[in-house]
Amino acid sequence: MPIKTFRGLMADGAQDTIHLHTRDGSTGYRIVRFQIINNTPGALGAAVKGVVKIYKVSQPMISPGVFADAVIDFSDNTLLGAAFYEDNDSVTYVGKETIIFDTEIFNQDIYITYSDLQGSQPMNYYIELEQVRLDLNANTVATLKDIRNS
């Protein structure tokens, strides 16, 4: 099946929406690749410890304009993936990332959040989603799961 790609640059505390829903829900998606990188890797004064998460439901505002925290809880059935990126403010230090994602099939919008534990540096994300044709039964299951999680 075709691969759809999405990318963006997020401010600390922000939430992005990737619009995937269709009227009939017959198109599903599964994450096949998820990567993040600071927008100024290795730059002096640009230290970052960032957490980017992918959710099946919109996240509530924590404080005015802030949707993201750095807590990763895999018992949350709305969490599809999480990534941690660390980069020091030294050009001799190479950034590193840890990424974990679920291969669950979903057919509704997804929501990306970002939180910087060390400062407020922006973060880039790149996501590849595989399109999956859903039969009526799979469509119903995916839709009901999304409704239950809302």
Is residue 11 scored above 60 in pLDDT?
Answer: yes
In this structure, the number of other CB atoms found within 10 A of the CB of residue 130 comes to: 16
Alpha-carbon torsion (27, 31, 33, 39), positive or negative: positive
| Predicted structure pTM score | 0.86
Question: Cα 6–134–145 angle (5° rounding)?
Answer: 80
Average pLDDT (25-30) is: 89
Separation between Cα atoms, residue 2 and residue 52, nearest integer Å: 25
Is residue 77 scored above 60 in pLDDT?
Answer: yes
Assign 20 a pLDDT band (cuts: 50, 70, 90): very high
pLDDT digit string (tens) for 33-75?
999 988 887 776 677 889 999 999 999 988 887 888 889 999 9
Domains and CATH numbers, the chain: 3-149 (2.60.120)
Predicted local confidence at residue 36, as pLDDT: 93
Is residue 142 scored above 70 in pLDDT?
Answer: no
DSSP E strand stretches across 14-142: 15-18, 27-38, 48-55, 79-87, 96-101, 110-116, 123-133
pLDDT digit string (tens) for 86-131?
887 665 555 677 888 888 899 899 999 999 988 888 999 999 999 9
Could you identify the residue written with the tokens 């996501």?
127
